Structure 1
Amino acid sequence: MSSPRVRPALVAGLGAVALVVAAAVVAHLHPTDVRVHWPPLHAVWGPRFDVRLVPAVALAVLLVLWLPGFARRAGWGLAVLGTTAASWAWTMALALSDGPYGLSRVTERSSEYPATARTITDVPGFLDEFISRIPVSAADNWPIHVAGHPPGAVLPFVGLDRLGVTDPFWIAVVLVTVGATAVAAVLLTIDELGGRDLARRAAPWLALAPLVVWAGVSADWMFAAVGAWGLYLLARSAVRGSVPAALGAGVVLGYCVFMSYGLVLLGILALTVLWIARTWRPLPWAVLSALGVAVVFAVLGFAWWDAYPVLRERYFAGIASERPYWYWVWGSVAAWTCTVGVATWAALPEWWRRWRDDLREPLTTLVAGGLATVAVATLSGMSKAEVERIWLPFTVWVVAVGALLPDRWVRPLLLLQVLVAVLAQTLLVTRW
């Protein structure tokens, strides 16, 4: 593999740092309040250093030294499992550097999904009344985070409640465990489309991306996993001509849209998968089964197309209307930079060069699809701040671009990725 030129990579990496610094400086100097406490991140300054951080950092260093070689030499199945386990372990270790509260602090809030899930005794009734309780003017309106998502985001927590998983800590463990499988799904998708060698190289970048800080405490990491498995099924269908896989992809991706309105943008990545595979044959089957999901929800009382306009009204009646578009259209990218890390930006010049040479190469084209979703999300104005968690379903596809970096850069830049995560974890108290 030829090494990318040093200067473009260095310029891109320094440009990423400059973007974050500019976002912070502009927010503090401009008279307009951008409506987050520590711009561009939804966080507050709160330095803390606990002895529990030591084993987390030790684990990260061990993974930096071990994972690149393991992912390249181990049997393929073992490499996927090992990388997924590494992602889970690093996420857990970093979150637990704040103690058990580091995992449970989000899931124990009264405004979050688990609290609402505990109140639901009749799922069809819940779906039937959902839209009427979105407006802030409703006497019994949903908490902001529940109202801001379709009811499919709450239903997994209803299932956990029925299974007896009610402790906020263990709910968070489930989220981290399910979310970590996104790593496996991305690797398997790249492989299915013909890029196993690059998938092996991408493995450590997926496991050690700074997004881990937000993955450990966010349901959006679970959304990322569901979306990634849907795209894997679509890739499998496209490559192997499997109608059942296409139908499964439609069901999974269709359900994603009922977990988060923004996940309709996964359609860009779905089309990217089919473009790489050079076939559109799975599309009718996938669309058919996705529509089936929509019909089931509509029959039970929740019509996505009726809910979204109501949600927009609440969205712009709240803090979103106070967050200036002129700032967040690029400030969100600065916040996102903290989740992908400087190494991802450093790899973009080489990504651009290789993608221009082959617009269907699996890894580079999937990265292009991920970048396109981020671009559309920020330009739409429906993503203003808090993208550290909101864009996780797209981010997980972009961080794989580290596979294009030369071998001699891998461990130093992986250490830089870890450093970004540790600094974010120890210097800031994120809202998520």
Structure 2
Amino acid sequence: MLLVAAAIAVGWWLNRRHVPIYAGSAPLFATPGPHVGIGTVLAPLVAAAVVGWLPRLADRLGWRRLLLTAYVAALAWILSLAMIDGWRDGLTSRLTGDAEYLIDVPGVTDIPVMLRTFTDRILDFQPDSWHTHVSGHPPGALLVFVVLDRIGLGGGTAAALLCVLVGALTAVAVPVTLRALGDEPAARAVLPFVVLFPGAVWLGASADAIFAGVTATGIAALAVAGRRRGPVLAAGALLGYGVFLSYGLVLMAPIALVPALVSRRLRATLFALAGAVAVVAVFAAAGFWWYDGYRLVVERYYQGIGRERPYAYWVWANLATLVLAAGPATAPILRRAVVALGPAAPGEPGGAGWDGRGGGSGAPRHARPAPPGAVRRFLGRLSTGPVALPLAAVVAIVAADLSGLSKAEVERIWLPFGVWLMAGAALLPARHRRWWLVAQAVTALAVNHLVLTVW
């Protein structure tokens, strides 16, 4: 709360002095504007239903029915939040602005030519430069909307609904991953938190919702696939395509390594890497080399407002934005994840009296002896999904933040990372979870009612 308050106060002060932070409601990329809409009624009802019923359903429903319930609830939450702004402003016009993908879709008449010449149009100040979002991403993102248009689903409404439908997959992917890593109780515990994710404000609708949904599904597929080569290759291909949706998604690597860390399936990770490399090879054969695009995007970034936005403000204000997008539950989740890495207490994994079945026996059992060495003990404590996934997300977020290529707008840019912070919600005491769910919902409702978001 102090971090958010400081970012708001300093952002207001910088705007008053005309420092070019380019965010009217800093640290959010939005403009001040309290407003209401039909979603003002719908969104609190959805939140109340999730808080009141979903934790109990998560304990009782069969797994497949629970996942379907979670997906429908996530869709309802995303769409009801969007309806606070109204159908047109909340969905239809989100991807039709001058900086967005759809403005370049009509000009793509030949997909192979587009891929071969894509890098030629990245830099600004030339007659045929791509518009902001197309130039700032690999061609995979534009390709999604071009294909959508080719199959007869052109326009802002179809594009926005695709973002919502794919973004809502995060509510399924995170619990599926945890269950595949051997922790079904944790998977059921985190499910309401992923459904009621405050980042749903930007899942409906920005293209980053697609990025989050695709990469989350890829992680889940990697965790589920296990030792089966075909599915693992497919999971790798999905994650590989994610890298061609956004350059920053190479930072999904720490999260993608968690299934290998927890399950000890290094071979599966290598097969997944082969699937990702195959995607890179296909794009290279089509004429687009990822690194060339990345190098030019960095140059394009400093041709625009990225050059003027002060790093000294955004390097810490970005983290305040993350609190608003991931919710205040992030703080206790991360505290508990870090504490879990400390020395194990008696009766806990690795502690005196641990018998490998979750209870103390009074004397150490040696059926599964603890590996010697501090590093191996540390890795042992790290190798649980609720601890490893949020901490891996933190690694990705810190790297993105320090790079200086994520100055502002991270409420949408970091959605693919932020959703994995919720994997640690199982670490919260059961008696506190409903209150944290309420705090998550209130955060999203406050943001969407008090400011006019761009995405």
Shorter-chain TM-score tier: over 0.9
Partner of 2:374: none
Contact 2:43 2:445 (8 Å CA) reproduced: no
Aligned-residue Cα RMSD (Å) equals: 1.5
Q: Aligned partner of 2:446: which letter?
A: L
Q: 2:228 aligns with which of 238, 242, 248?
A: 242
**Runs (5+) with no aligned partner, structure 2:** 345-380
Q: Aligned partner of 2:160: which letter?
A: A
Q: TM-score, normalised by structure 2?
A: 0.88
Q: Aligned partner of 1:213: which letter?
A: V
Alpha-carbon separation, structure 1, partners of 2:21 and 2:97: 24
Q: 1:46 aligns with which of 12, 20, 33?
A: 33
Aligned-partner SS, 1:97: coil
Q: Aligned partner of 1:409: which letter?
A: H
Cα distance change, pair 197–129 in 1 and its aligned pair in 2 (3 A): same
Q: 2:414 aligns with which of 391, 397, 405?
A: 391
Q: Aligned partner of 1:38: which letter?
A: S
Alpha-carbon separation, structure 2, partners of 1:365 and 1:50: 39
**Runs (5+) with no aligned partner, structure 1:** 1-16
Alpha-carbon separation, structure 2, partners of 1:77 and 1:302: 40
Aligned-partner SS, 1:403: helix
Partner of 1:64: 51
Q: 1:336 aligns with which of 303, 312, 322?
A: 322
Q: 1:27 aligns with which of 11, 20, 42?
A: 11
Check if 1:422 corresponds to 2:445.
yes
Deviations 1:373-401 (A, max 9, x none): 11111011111110000000001100232
Aligned length: 414
Q: 2:255 aligns with which of 259, 269, 272?
A: 269
Contact 2:227 2:265 (8 Å CA) reproduced: no
Q: Percent identity?
A: 40
Alpha-carbon separation, structure 2, partners of 1:416 and 1:269: 26
Contact 2:389 2:423 (8 Å CA) reproduced: no
Could you say which structure has the greater relative contact order, defined with CA pairs below 8 angstroms and 6 or more residues apart?
1
Q: How does 1:135-154 map to 2 (within 5 A)?
A: 135-154=123-142
Aligned-partner SS, 1:164: coil
Q: TM-score, normalised by structure 1?
A: 0.93
Partner of 1:84: 71
Which protein has the bigger helix share? 1
Check if 1:293 corresponds to 2:293.
no
Q: How far did residue 51 of structure 1 move?
A: 4.5
Task: Report the more deviating stretch, 151-160 or 345-354.
Answer: 345-354
Alpha-carbon separation, structure 2, partners of 1:187 and 1:375: 24
Q: Aligned partner of 2:6: which letter?
A: A
Cα distance change, pair 299–245 in 1 and its aligned pair in 2 (3 A): same
Partner of 1:284: 270
Alpha-carbon separation, structure 2, partners of 1:66 and 1:26: 40
Alpha-carbon separation, structure 2, partners of 1:182 and 1:375: 21
Q: How far did residue 52 of structure 1 move?
A: 4.1
Which has the larger Rg? 2
Q: 1:306 aligns with which of 292, 304, 308?
A: 292
Aligned-partner SS, 1:250: helix
Alpha-carbon separation, structure 2, partners of 1:53 and 1:394: 28
Alpha-carbon separation, structure 1, partners of 2:93 and 2:426: 34
Deviations 1:71-95 (A, max 9, x none): 1111111111111111111101110
Partner of 1:123: 111
Check if 1:37 corresponds to 2:37.
no
Q: How far did residue 273 of structure 1 move?
A: 2.1
Q: Which runs of at least 4 in structure 1 moved beyond 6 Å after TM superposition? A: none
Partner of 1:260: 246
Check if 1:168 corresponds to 2:142.
no
Alpha-carbon separation, structure 2, partners of 1:214 and 1:99: 14
Q: 2:87 aligns with which of 100, 111, 115?
A: 100
Partner of 2:347: none
Q: Aligned partner of 1:354: which letter?
A: A
Check if 1:407 corresponds to 2:430.
yes
